[in-house]
Amino acid sequence: MYQEERLLKILEHLSQHQSMSVADICSLFQVSRDTARRDIVKLVQEGVVIRTHGGVALPELQKELSSYQERLIDESDSKKNIGKLGAKLIKDQETVFLDVSSTVQFVAEQIQAKHITAVTHSIDNVGVLSNRDDLQIYVLGGYLHAKNRLLYGPSVIDKISEIRADKAFIGATAIHSDGFYYPYEEDARVKREMARRADQVILVADHTKFAAKSRFRLDFECVDIIITDQDIPIEIREVIDQKNITVIECQADIQQGGDEQQ
């Protein structure tokens, strides 16, 4: 198959599936990774696709992904309240996965527990915790994604698989009645592996995530606790209750417990 024909088929695939990894291109067209990368370079140069962590996506899909700094500012008061409640769940001596998420960063900022081991691939989580001498930081190494402030690649998932954690704190781009959603396939894989290797998984997400959209799904079964800032839509709450997931709504806690729970 000539490159031009293959490029058209890649675009056809993207129109139906929104994104495509290097491995997908290799498998679908029986080509080497070098050939797949050359196809990606060609499409990017022509401006018809954008690069993602492990492949390509259509340009309009990028609109749903603001930069990490912008996400950190959005709903910052709500995220800070969620982060404070999440941080209270961490006990001394525990090993904790900290996902790349603006809300998880607020958890990291408010950790009071001593002598924990924080495991993360977030540059900002490392920065937040690096000034503390009463904990250890284990950085999951990989390639640098400067815009989203994270390290990524196969080595990240490989390292997670070698660790056992007491808790994992993860975020979500979108939440629907069938699970949690993320923009990149690798992002969902990292969270799935963190959940598999942790005794308890806490998802922290503000109310905007219940109206958002994204692509790659993580099952509700992966999560034990959800901390959010407003009532969860009834159709999602019914499913969460069926899955026996504990829900903590920080607004209710603030009203009942005063400033201590903010």
Q: Are residues 206 and 129 in the same domain?
A: yes
**CB neighbour list of residue 242: distance below 8 Å, 6 or more residues apart:** none
Lowest-pLDDT range of 8-22, 201-215, 234-248: 8-22
Last residue of a domain, one of 32, 64, 96: 64
Number of domains in the chain: 2
Q: Are residues 153 and 169 in the same domain?
A: yes
- pLDDT of 59: 66
Q: How many CA atoms lie within 13 A of 97 on its CB side?
A: 33
Summarised one tens digit per residue, pLDDT across range 26-68 is 999 999 999 998 988 888 877 777 887 778 887 654 444 444 5
Q: Are residues 197 and 250 in the same domain?
A: yes
Summarised one tens digit per residue, pLDDT across range 128-177 is 999 889 999 999 988 887 777 888 888 999 999 999 999 999 999 999 99
Q: Are residues 24 and 97 in the same domain?
A: no
Q: Are residues 189 and 237 in the same domain?
A: yes
How large a percentage of the chain has pLDDT more than 90?
55
- What span, in angstroms and rounded, lies between the C-alpha atoms of 48 and 33? 20
Domain residues for the domain of 177 are 69-261
pLDDT at 206 over 50: yes
- pLDDT of 258: 42
- pLDDT of 103: 93
Q: Are residues 74 and 167 in the same domain?
A: yes
For residue 251, with 0-12 CB atoms within 10 Å meaning exposed, 13-18 middle and 19 or more buried, which class applies?
A: middle
- pLDDT of 215: 86
Which one of 62-66, 72-76, 176-180 scores highest in mean pLDDT? 176-180
Q: Are residues 53 and 75 in the same domain?
A: no
Q: Are residues 172 and 249 in the same domain?
A: yes
* Banded pLDDT at 246 (limits 50, 70, 90): very high
- pLDDT of 7: 86
- pLDDT of 255: 41
How large a percentage of the chain has pLDDT more than 70?
89
Last residue of a domain, one of 41, 64, 87: 64
Top-confidence residue, 149 or 203 = 203
- pLDDT of 250: 85
Q: Are residues 16 and 128 in the same domain?
A: no
- pLDDT of 74: 53
pTM comes to 0.70
Q: Are residues 79 and 163 in the same domain?
A: yes
Give the strand order in the sheet containing 198-204: 136-139, 117-120, 95-98, 165-170, 198-204, 225-228, 246-249
- What span, in angstroms and rounded, lies between the C-alpha atoms of 250 and 39? 48
Domain CATH for 106: 3.40.50.1360
Last residue of a domain, one of 49, 64, 79: 64
Phi (first) and psi of residue 179, to 5 degrees: 145, -170
- What span, in angstroms and rounded, lies between the C-alpha atoms of 176 and 220? 10
Supply the mean pLDDT for the chain.
Answer: 86
Top-confidence residue, 261 or 88 = 88
Q: Are residues 40 and 83 in the same domain?
A: no
- pLDDT of 50: 80
